[in-house]
Amino acid sequence: MQRNTFKSAFIAAAVVATASAGHAQNTSNHDVNFTIDEAAMVRVVDVAGGPSTTLPFHIQAPSVAGQAFPVIPSQNLYLQYTSVKGASPDNVRQVDVEVVGGAMPAGIQMTITPSLNGTGTLGNGTPVSFAGSAVSGTLITDIQSAYTGDGAGDGAVLNYSLNYHTQNLDAATSGIITLRYTISNN
Amino acid sequence: MGRGFGGGLWRALLLLPLAARGQISVLNGLSHFQPCDEARRGSILVHNQGDSTATVLLQSTVLLGQADELVLPSEVELAPGERRSVPFSWQVHDSLARHAHVEVFAVPSAVAPTAGTWTVVTEIHYLLNLYTGCVETDPSETLHLSHDSLVYSRYDGQQIWKAMGQAYTAWGQTVGAPKPFFFFPGAVRTWRYPEGSAYILLEDESGHVLGYSLQDHAH
């Protein structure tokens, strides 16, 4: 909780004087304070590591009348995080994702599948799907002290895939959907 | 034609992570406990990772206690790269535990809807737990343990109890890693104890020890 501060006292030096009068030994003590930030740092970036991007999913009509709408490829964003755990209850963390604004377009299910990459105890990822009334889920659990890197391609890969059937689509439904990622203690 | 997917038109689903202005972080932990024998003051260290000024909102919800018992600014403005300690205090004068959630997040950029597209905006929130209260002095009366493949612990007291759990074999050897616990009123914790465990001990910082036999209570 808050900062972990601990002290380590050590004997700094033993100074031996070799004066002609004989040996004299002086010992001094220092306190060394270590402070470790109990960091929780999260950001979402694109494939180039940029903090701002767009990922257009073009749900295009088929080329020939009578065909179903073709499946479109999934796309990735990257969840980059640095976490240093503290004392209980801040010894484990999790990331939840929730639709907090708007609604998924009719007939479309979106699934976010995390694939964790980095160093340390990155946690465990679980796919979360959004459709209809399913609007939230826990994406990553059991994060302890870890970091993902901050470069292009670093981080937990968030694979966004869409699943739909042509007969369920309705192009009249459009607008903004707000996805919230929340990091908290388990 | 304008309402359909056909006619050569397409619809786009856009994912728009907020720009760098929305990037903040919390640098001193997601849980804060102020014991009752101290001043019950703390701070939340917020960092603006972005390249522009960030307005950071702190939305508190007191889950245990009265809303006005937690004093916390609701908004701070951070320059690019700035770290700021946001102070908070509990205005509480009894021994009972209090608990609040505080959501910390940057004010999101406005995104205008585009006709014919679906736009997904992503935002990051930090959910902090703030606690205050006196530390439980007699957990044997307030902590209830049971088990199957997990140990279940339920705290029915009105204060806070922090303890470290350790599992032991029948021969008194430790088995598995110690597990920290933090209990507040109504808290239920589970523990997947290691194979070969015969009993567990929960010990707090004051030396109170609770033991629980996994054999005497075998299911």
Of A8-12, A24-28, A94-98, least confident by mean pLDDT is: A8-12
Distance, in Å, from the CA atom of A53 to the CA atom of A96, rounded to the nearest integer, reads 21
Mean pLDDT, all residues of chain A: 81
Tell whether B7 is covered by a domain.
no
Decide: B155 and B183 in contact? Cβ < 8 Å: yes
Q: Are residues B71 and B27 part of one domain?
A: yes
Q: Are residues A170 and A109 part of one domain?
A: yes
Q: What is the pLDDT of residue A21?
A: 43
Interface of A with B in 51-70 (CB under 8 A): 51-61, 69
Q: Are residues A49 and A20 part of one domain?
A: no
Q: Are residues A16 and A85 part of one domain?
A: no
Probe site for chain B from A54, A108, A142 (most B CB atoms < 10 A): A54
Q: What is the pLDDT of residue B4?
A: 35
Of A67-71, A87-91, A172-176, least confident by mean pLDDT is: A172-176
Q: What is the pLDDT of residue A112?
A: 95
Tell me if A43 and B49 make a contact (CB, 8 A cut-off).
yes
For residue B56 the two structure tokens come to 């950071």
Name the residue range of residue B73's domain.
13-133
Domain count, chain A: 2
Probe site for chain B from A83, A88, A164 (most B CB atoms < 10 A): A88
Q: Are residues B100 and B48 part of one domain?
A: yes
Boundary residue ending a domain (B133, B167, B194): B133
Distance, in Å, from the CA atom of A40 to the CA atom of A83, rounded to the nearest integer, reads 5
Q: Is pLDDT at A90 greater than 70 in this prediction?
A: yes
Domain count, chain B: 2
Q: Are residues B195 and B129 part of one domain?
A: no
Find the CATH number of the domain harbouring B159.
2.60.40
Tell me if B25 and A39 make a contact (CB, 8 A cut-off).
yes
CA atoms within 13 A on the CB side of A127: 11
**Average of pLDDT values for A80-95?**
91
Distance, in Å, from the CA atom of B84 to the CA atom of B17, rounded to the nearest integer, reads 24
Mean pLDDT, all residues of chain B: 86
Supply the DSSP symbol for B215.
Answer: T
**Average of pLDDT values for B121-136?**
93
> Of the ranges A43-57, B22-36, B91-105, which is most confident?
B91-105
Q: Are residues B114 and B60 part of one domain?
A: yes
Name the residue range of residue A20's domain.
4-36
Tell me if A38 and B28 make a contact (CB, 8 A cut-off).
yes
Cβ of A2 under 8 Å from any chain B Cβ? yes
Cβ of B11 under 8 Å from any chain A Cβ? yes
Distance, in Å, from the CA atom of B98 to the CA atom of B44, rounded to the nearest integer, reads 17
Q: Are residues B166 and B67 part of one domain?
A: no
Probe site for chain A from B124, B164, B202 (most A CB atoms < 10 A): B124
pLDDT in tens, B49-95: 888 899 999 999 999 999 999 999 999 999 999 999 999 999 999 99
Q: Are residues A139 and A81 part of one domain?
A: yes
Of A16-25, A70-79, A128-137, least confident by mean pLDDT is: A16-25
Which pTM was predicted?
0.84
Helices then strands (H, E): number in chain A? 0, 14
